[in-house]
Amino acid sequence: MAKVWNEENTAKVVSMYDPDRSVETVEAIMEELNLTKRQVIGKLVSEKVYVAPTKPEPKKKDDGPTKGELLTELAGLNFDVTGLDNTNKDAIKRVIAYVREHSE
């Protein structure tokens, strides 16, 4: 097996790498030098230039009523909730609004 890392390849990887576009430049290096992602990132880490891409913010948790609470509220409006267990919360909220509007 041929040695992958020599001074020329190491210099090329470091010069091609752009920390502001980490994902894109790692992929470009992989293609150009026919290396795996682990090989590229490992070399960048060992050369102390790699910056891990930032992870996206997690979705904000819905602090509103639970689906069960919404179904209980809907059942309290004399609406048969049988079979609505797999319905999403937004749909249940629309049904509650509809039932309230038409029961006045």
- The pair of structure tokens assigned to 16 is 């091609």
Give the model's pLDDT for residue 1. 46
| H/E element, 99 | helix 89-102
Does residue 104 carry a pLDDT above 80? no
What does the mean pLDDT of the chain come to? 89
What pTM was estimated for this model as a whole? 0.53
Map out the domains of the chain as residue ranges.
7-46, 67-102
The Cα 97–Cα 80 span in angstroms is 15
H/E element, 32: helix 22-33
Task: Give the pLDDT confidence score for residue 2 in this predicted structure.
Answer: 61
C-alpha gyration radius of the chain: 27
Which residue carries 């049904």 as its tokens?
95
The amino acid at residue 14 is: V
